Structure 1
Amino acid sequence: MRTSIDKNTLLTTLKTYFGYDSFRNEQSAIIETVLNGEDAIVIMPTGGGKSICYQLPAVLFEGLTLVISPLIALMKDQVDGLKANGIAADFYNSSQSAEDQQAIIDQVANRDLKLLYVAPESLAGLNPILNKTYISCIAIDEAHCISSWGHDFRPSYQQLGFLKKSLPQIPMIALTATADKATREDIANQLNISHAKQFISSFDRKNITLEVRAADKRLDQIKRFLEKRPDTSGIIYCLSRKTTESVSTSLAAEGIKATCYHAGLSFDERNKVQEDFIYDKTQVVCATVAFGMGIDKSNVRWVIHYNMPKNLEGYYQEIGRAGRDGLKSHALLFHSYADVLQLRRFTQGAGNEEVQNAKLDRMKQYAEATTCRRKILLSYFGEFLAEDCGNCDVCKNPPQFFDGTILAQKALSTIARVKGKEPIGAIIDILRGAKNAHILDHQLDQVSTYGIGKDVSWKDWQHYVLQLINQGYCEIAFHLRNNLHLTESSKEVLFNGKKVRLTAPTEVLKQEPVEARKPKIKKGNELFEKLRALRAEIAKEEEIPAYLVFSDKTLKELERARPTTEMEFLEISGVGQRKLEVYGDAFIEAILDFQKSKIKKKGSKSATHQVTFQMLKDGLSIEEIASKRDLKETTVYSHLAKLAQDGADLDLYTYVSREEVSRIKAAQKELEHPEGLKPYFEHFEEKIPYYKIRLALTLIEMEG
């Protein structure tokens, strides 16, 4: 099955339905592959634009694109987003009545739908339309769920191999944000698309600041973190249900709109948490890893890991839920020795215990790194940075190393003298000369190194011993009650004078100075806040999430460019034809109102178009006015139209010929008074520019 489409049509479709002027990463090549009827496996980071890789072809295919998605609760969000872009879409799942399900099948049969989302468990209900008469493409979202090597394995996904066997000519595209080589091979084999083209985009999310802190007074640190980020959305990931509840309760007591999410909640309760978060009713969700997959919320500004994740795949995907709009975002991870022990316990007895422990070790190495964290994270996925990233805590505040040989010798000597029979806590207690029950009962106060490190705090000793473990001078015997053992390398330090470099602990609480909870809006953000309020109002009226109206990134672009005409508005990234038609007037009016208010505040009696008029009378050309006022020429021409309507001594026929006006007047009748300028532009095959159409219509209106 092959659909031949030229590149211009692809770009036009991209702008019309999704509002973008160009493709990102390998989107264009992926889309062409799918339209050519070939299978594809797409590994692209969250926020990298995976969805467009199957949604755009869906618009161009004659039949239906079937999308397999793992979470029923998030399908409505996906469908709402497509409908907001003017694309016919729906979902099919077990939450619907039999009548609703039949109505959807009828829509497919009538070719009224372009995309249909379905969970693997509900596929059987679609048997009547699972054939090449109706299906043009199959997309498997979150494809890593099919693999037991993946970090989020779902048995229901393993039935999907039948799709390619029953529809061999239909192109299939499998997509995920995270998959190592073993997982990619598993996806290809289980879906029966072993010859699929593989597209692996850069895993580097440059807009996300990476930071790791010691898990000391985590809750206080989180509160300080949020005080610096009022009114922003974020997710706090926790290992246990109990922690999600306690953290959310504590934050709510501070007046923060926080709630919890975990598998112990009912379906309706979980669904409400997700909807409230998506619709900006909840600011913070404290969740287990069950939360977040497939969420398209673009304005998540930060992700916090209250506990350390079990592997880098899960960590990468979870932090990827921040900053999907490309704006600056933050990923904060708290790291503690207790978390490592707990995660080790989770892996005990698992069928792939060795693999899980190896992945946990890599996660631990990332958390304890003293070199660029992004380099470590990306290298895990086979991508290598030549330079340090400059956007992680290590790069921004490089650790200060000192000669820690004496400290290392004290610690390693103590481990040797207790013959590897004590865990890290007891080793530190011996060094500090503690007199607790364990020390006294086991006569550890008789060890020759007892008390030789009493001048160093317990927390600092823990910091140093963990570094010795990371550098391979000692190791944790997890199978022997987590006791510390010496390694071959420790002999070099104890007997051969090898030097050991350590880093000094940092005081993490000083990193986040307390600020006022509700800082005043900066002057430069006044328009952004005005546009955000308008977006919220529209979203409430249409009962869709605010980011489906426009993303924060698009609002920032509107704030910067301040378009005041339809043509200028359409040039904004994220504005497609339908969004121009539906929302354009309201946002342009808001921008104009804002500009008028700023002119009034400055005490100027001249509106912006009057300034243009004065410069025109001074003999400046349209090009010179645009340059001096830092405006687009189309904006200057819109000023001329406004001036003429207000009765200014201005001849618009200087800029548009009488013949052109006559042609546009004839087109007006032929097109039966169309809305906007675009129908005229297309009618004349783009040969009459927008500004002339605008001026001609003004003249036609003035001349009756």
Structure 2
Amino acid sequence: MPISDVTTVLRQYFGYESLYPYQEEIIRALTDGEDVLGVIATGGGKSLCYQIPALISGGMTVVISPLIALMKDQVDTLRECGVPAACITSLQDYRERRETEEAIYHGDLRILYVSPERAVKTEFFSLLKKAHVTLIAVDEAHCISQWGHEFRPEYREISRLIREFSHAPVVALTATATPAVQNDIIAQLHLRHPHRVTGSFYRKNLRYEVRPKKDTKGAILSYLRNHQGQAGIIYCLSRKGVEELSNTLRRTGIRALPYHAGLTRKAREEAQEAFVRDRVQVIVATVAFGMGIDKPDVRFVIHHDLPRSPEHYYQETGRAGRDGDPADCILFYSAGDLHRHAFFIQQESSVARQRAEYTKLEEMATYCEEHRCRQAMILQYFGEETPVGGCGTCDICRSPRERFDGTAVAQMAITCVRDLTVPCGSSHLIDLLRGANTKKIREMGQKETPGYGAGKAYSKDEWRSFIRELIRLGYLERESGVYPVLTVGETGRELLAAGETVEGVFLTRMKKTPNIRQEKPTDPLFIRLKTLRREIADREGIAPYMIFSDVTLREMVNSRPLTDAAFLAIRGVGATKLNRFGPEFMAALIPTEKEGDNSAAETLRLYRAGCTMAEIAEKRSLTPDICGAHLAEAIENGENVEIDDLISPHRQAAIREAVAQEGTHDLRRLKTVLGERFTYTDIRLTCAVDRQNNPK
């Protein structure tokens, strides 16, 4: 396969000039007929690895994907790029299903997405036999392994499809797979001497941080106030936690919605759609949310509670910064989270599964409590070499701890563990060392223990840190299980015998939280392009990022392309998008007399000053639709905007009736129902007021 073919396809459809090295390696292997296992970080371009071979092959690629919402988003994105793609899901009506089947029969599709459940049905096999299948792609392939973090038994059946179409090469793709999980994927899918490609797990643009779980809601509110207008996800362990936090955020004026398995399917779909279309700033969710989104401009992922494994944590934080711009990953941690997870693990029926889960949970505790570069610990877990000198962006690298001679600390802890007649865990040992007067200590008569109160100069958090470090260095050992007890390790016995020197980490030398990063004021032209993007997205019934990413918009701001050739040179602009969106964006890039005033706030100011929409549009050299989008944005940001002068009450009532009848705020669908008498601005503003009055 000539590399020129790949470059042509890449440029024409996706607007990129070059591939990452591992993408090229995977594409070459697949076009040579080899099976491939690809482990590539979230945001690293896994989809292109099968999309480009699909466009080159002349046949049809079958993509097995776990979530309907994710399939739909990817199909919509591909179609916006001019790629013939479709999906078959349980939500389609007869007409949509029939159109897709006809496209398969006539060889008009290049990429077909299906769920694992549908992929193994006999009738689906019959349908595929009428097509020229040239490639099978298994996305989120870690779901096939019981040692992975999102095991789905139905994935085990995919091997039937692979056997049925054995002439087609197979690519299994995942963002999170340890070596053991990788081997299990190969075995379960029966991959034939697969070419293994492992991209780096290192996400340079992600800024990892662990904070103590103290006034967590207050800390989250403070963070959001300093990052207004940025999209993000907040994960909570329980449905109750999701509801409480999302309600708190809405009461303070933050556009937030809950997402968890206890909501109706319709409510979850509406919340997800509102998020990907930039109608809400924050989704507060359980782990039920995430796999179904492909939103590239998520600027933060906050974990209110501890994830149960490094795979879960890496997968969830990987949803931040997929566009390559900086993003924050903040985890609030307390030891109490460990006990809650341990309780759930204990419910597992398989002892082997329990042990595996305890090991993963212990790795998460290590990540939170040790004072090494966060990125380095993540990379080490997945078997990758760590960056020399650390990442430079995580909280540990930004505020390094001061190392000190910890011999006395080590001796206190080791001696106390050695002298106990009944083994104990970390929490009880810390109570003993700090001289606590707990019921358990009184009942066991342990106030006379030689080490009792010897370490009261240090806080609980400091002792937790010291014990973690002593375990890592081998001075103490901890058994696995729900209530792991401590014993003295071989190195610890040597220390007591020889009195050798040991170093620890002194936690209190660092600031409690790193300095808050203030966001730079956003370029008004960038705001103008984002507003235009949203106006077009609402009109077309798609998510804004499917038109152009923030990265692409920023490049437009920097280079100001005003010709087709210059616009096509922007990364992320292909031929199809140039034809569809180029004229409107190039018109918006033409400088105005008062470019510094171009914002929703300026449109709102003029409107409140008594200007009509036509007058505002003329003053600002914008279209009335863009000005309407500005006012809708102001309304959704909490501004009180009276729209009766723009849209009569009876017209608003008609729009609300259509919303109730259709059960959606999708502008294109509502416009079709309401007809030409209503403009997109009429519908957009009425819906914005309704969403402000009723966020759910």
TM-score, scaled to structure 2: 0.79
Contact 1:237 1:287 in 2 (8 A): yes
Give the corresponding residue for 2:365.
364
Task: Look up the match of 2:474.
Answer: 472
Q: Distance in 2 between matches of 1:423 and 1:30?
A: 48
Three-state SS of the structure 1 residue aligned to 2:61 is strand
Match of 1:168 in 2: 166
Question: Residues 569 and 352 of structure 1: is their aligned pair in 2 closer, same or farther, counting only changes over 3 Å?
Answer: same
Poorly superposed stretches of 4+, deviation over 6 Å: none
C-alpha distance in 1 between matches for 2:215 and 2:511: 10
Cα deviations across residues 514-558 of structure 1 (Å, max 9, x unaligned)? 97xxx8x72x61211111111111111111111111101111111
Report 1:69-468 matches (<5 A). 69-123=65-119, 124=121, 125-131=123-129, 133-348=131-346, 349-350=349-350, 351-385=352-386, 387-388=388-389, 389-468=391-470
Q: Secondary structure of the equivalent of 1:592? A: coil
Q: CA RMSD of the aligned region, Å? A: 2.7
CA drift at 1:493: 4.1
Shift of 1:28: 2.5
State how 1:618-637 maps to structure 2 within 5 Å.
none
The change in CA–CA distance for 1:367 and 1:514 in structure 2 (over 3 A counts) is: closer
For the residue of structure 2 that corresponds to 1:90, the secondary structure is strand
Instruction: Give the aligned residue type for 1:428.
Output: I
Is residue 69 of structure 2 the alignment partner of residue 67 of structure 1?
no
The residue aligned with 2:648 is none
CA distance in 1, matches of 2:597, 2:44: 42
Mark the CA change 1:498 to 1:165 in structure 2 (over 3 Å): closer, same or farther.
Answer: same
**1:12 aligned onto 2:8:** yes
Quote the residue 2:506 is aligned against: 504
- Distance change (3 Å), C-alpha of 1:221 and 1:474: farther
Q: Is the 8 A contact 2:370 2:468 kept in 1?
A: no
Query: After superposition, what is the alpha-carbon deviation per residue over 1:631-685, rounded to whole angstroms, capped at 9, x for unaligned?
Result: xxxxxxxxxxxxxxxxxxxxxxxxxxxxxxxxxxxxxxxxxxxxxxxxxxxxxxx
Q: Name the CA distance, whole Å, in 2 between partners of 1:531 and 1:357.
A: 49
CA 1:455–1:260 in 2, change beyond 3 Å: closer, same or farther? Answer: same
% same residue: 40
How many residue pairs align between the two structures? Answer: 591
Deviation at 1:592, TM superposition (A): 0.7
Cα distance between partner residues in 1 of 2:22 and 2:424 = 54
Aligned with 1:138: secondary structure?
strand
CA 1:216–1:191 in structure 2 vs 1: closer, same or farther (change >3 Å)? same
Partners of 2:181 and 2:596 lie apart in 1 by 59
Indicate the larger mover: 348-357 or 579-588.
348-357
Q: Confirm or deny: 8 A CA contact 1:224 1:514 kept in the other structure.
A: no
Residues 211 and 393, structure 1, Cα contact 8 Å, conserved in 2? yes
* Conserved 8 A contact 2:339-2:482: no
What displacement does 1:457 show?
3.6
CA distance in 1, matches of 2:178, 2:458: 42
5+ long unaligned stretches in structure 1: 602-704
The normalised TM-score by structure 1 is 0.78
Residue ranges of structure 2 left out of the alignment (5+ in a row) = 599-696
Q: How does 1:485-634 map to 2 (within 5 A)?
A: 485-506=487-508, 509-513=512-516, 522=521, 525-594=523-592, 596-598=593-595
Residue identity matched to 1:561: S
Per the TM alignment, residue 598 of structure 1 is displaced from its structure 2 partner at its CA by 4.9
Would the alpha carbon gap of residues 132 and 25 (structure 1) be closer, same or farther in structure 2, given more than 3 Å must change?
farther
Aligned partner of 2:55: which letter? V
Partner of 1:23: 19
Secondary structure of the 2:590 match is helix
From the superposition, tell whether residues 452 and 120 of structure 1 become closer, same or farther in structure 2 (CA, over 3 Å): closer
CA contact (8 A) 2:369 2:465 kept: no
Deviation at 1:588, TM superposition (A): 1.1
DSSP 3-state at the match of 1:593: coil
CA distance in 1 between counterparts of 2:218 and 2:369 reads: 21
- After superposition, give the CA deviation of every residue in 1:359-400 in whole Å (9 maximum; x if it has no partner): 333333333332323222223323213512222222222111
Q: 1:599 to 1:188 in 2, by over 3 A?
A: closer
> How far did 1:422 drift?
4.0
Which of these two proteins has the greater Rg computed from alpha carbons? 1
Contact persistence 1:202–1:383 (CA under 8 A) = yes
- Tell me which moved more, 71-80 or 238-247: 238-247
Whether the aligned pair in 2 keeps the contact of 1:236 and 1:287 (CA below 8 Å) is: yes
Please state whether the residue corresponding to 1:528 is helix, strand or coil.
helix
The residue that corresponds to 2:643 in the other structure is none
Q: Report which stretch shifted further, 442-451 or 58-67.
A: 442-451
Cα shift readout 1:181-202 (whole Å, capped 9, x = no counterpart): 2222222232222222222222
Are the aligned partners of 2:305 and 2:337 in contact in 1 as well (CA < 8 Å)? yes
Change over 3 Å in CA distance of 1:182–1:480 after alignment to 2:
closer
Q: How does 1:647-686 map to 2 (within 5 A)?
A: none
Deviation for aligned residue 1:511: 2.6
Secondary structure of the residue that 2:421 maps to in structure 1?
coil
